[in-house]
Amino acid sequence: MSIFPSVKKEIDQVAGGGAIRSVLVVDDSKLQRRILSASLKRWGYDVLEADSGEAALKMTAEQQPDLVLSDWMMPGMSGLELCREFRELSGEEYSYFILLTSKSEKGEIAQGLDSGADDFLTKPVDSNEVRARINAGERLLEMQRELKAKNLVISDTLDELQRLYDSLDSDLIEAKKLQQSLLRERNKVLPSGELSLVLRSSGHVGGDLVGFFPAGDRYLGLYGIDVSGHGISSALMTARLAGYLSAAAPDQNVAMERLADGSFVPRPPEQTIADLNDLILNEMETEHYFTLLLGFVDLDTGLVRMAQAGHPHPAIQRADGSVEHIGTGGFPVGLVQGVTFEQFDVQLSEGDRIAILSDGVTECPNVAGEMLGEDGLTDLMKSLKDIKGPAFLETLIWQLAEFCGRWEFPDDVSGIVFEYSGQRPDP
């Protein structure tokens, strides 16, 4: 396993043992210092001596010891004051501090602990007790330094993950721009009607897509797609499907057929969906499936011919504001081999509109977890019967957010609306 360079030193120190290597002995008594220093050197420690608290602070400023053994009662700065100052000046490394004292009252012991002391030794000092207290301090320091080393590993790992996240987030933002660019036009006015489209992913990118394409002079193709799952793989699937229903390359559009004179006409939508089903199952190595509603509007008569593959029922709103949901349901594309799909028609009259919406609308939950449903969508559309054009979809999304209780929806939301204004004028 590779180790971040910034923490290798810490880990090596812990692995090597010996959390206490250098000891500072502070005592105004030269004899007491020599007695303690002799034992400490015999046990293998590097020993420094100071005859006062002031001298000890100067020494620790140059080199911080692992352990301080300090007498409590000294002229000038006491051991208690030294401990307090030492803690304020200490760096990131923690040093163990033992006070040597003849004091045994609980209040005085508490005062020493409040000042930053870790332990106490009662004078006269016994060498075996000194060794035992140092061993206890060493265990605590080893645990503290091991914890610090692990925290450094975690911190560096989190920093690396943050860098990776920032890089991924930047890529996803660009991916969102590319996916939104699949919707080149969000509003289009035609001689016999008007189109409005919306696409809102629940994350950076999603599996929803809506679009349209001209199918010869007389027909307009409409579709709504919802790929299973969320995220990048679903978005890649929608991009590929957009190529199969391309407005820019009619030769590659599986929903159109080229005639002998070079013109294009719509293929029956149920056959197109069946071909896509075979294509997904036989040629694409993917776990994804998708729902689809594909339809063609006869711009001369207002007749809409559609086929449905598991997508929500299209909503037809008549000029008087009434709403009906039509369709045959059907299987999603890419689930079952050889399944057939049914065609159905609806006749639009002047002032009617058809809305093809994803299940992110009807299955949008409120704060109580209750979904909007077709009945809720009907009520919303009825309340918006006098709003036309792009404002209709914008207001619908705004009211859906009010119902949901938040602006970020739990699922992708997409829709395409065609408003029929009547037969095209003669050329």
- 73-111, pLDDT tens digit by residue? 999 999 999 999 998 887 778 899 999 887 666 677 778
pLDDT for 15 equals 39
Q: pTM of the predicted model, to two decimals?
A: 0.63
Alpha carbon 179 to chain centroid distance? 19
**Cβ atoms within 10 A of the Cβ of 3, count?**
13
CATH tag for 5-152 (out of 3.90.1150.10, 3.40.1260.10, 3.40.640.10, 3.40.50.2300): 3.40.50.2300
What 3-state DSSP class applies to 71? strand
Q: Is residue 171's pLDDT more than 50? A: yes
Collect all residues with Cβ–Cβ distance below 8 Å to 336 and sequence separation of at least 6: 277
- Report which listed range, 94-108, 257-271, 303-317, is most confident: 303-317
Whether pLDDT at 170 is above 80: no
Eight-state DSSP code of residue 62: H
How many other β-carbons are positioned within 10 Å of the β-carbon of residue 167?
Answer: 10
| pLDDT of 225 above 50 | yes
CB 397 within 8 A of CB 413: yes
CATH code for the part of the protein at 182-420: 3.60.40.10
User: 208: number of CA atoms within 13 Å, CB side?
Assistant: 24
> For 357-392, what is each residue's pLDDT tens digit?
999 999 999 999 999 999 999 999 999 999 999 999
What residue ranges of the chain are covered by domains with CATH 3.60.40.10?
A: 182-420
Q: What is the pLDDT of residue 2?
A: 45
- Reported as type and span, the H/E element at residue 381 is helix 373-383
- Report whether pLDDT(150) > 50: yes
- Segment 64-70 mean pLDDT: 93
Q: φ, ψ for residue 263 (rounded to 5)?
A: -80, 165
Q: Which amino acid would we find at residue 41? A: K
Compute the distance between CA of residue 399 and CA of residue 40 in angstroms, rounded to an integer. 78
CATH 3.40.50.2300 boundaries in the chain: 5-152
Across 10-14, 40-44, 167-171, the highest mean pLDDT is recorded for: 40-44
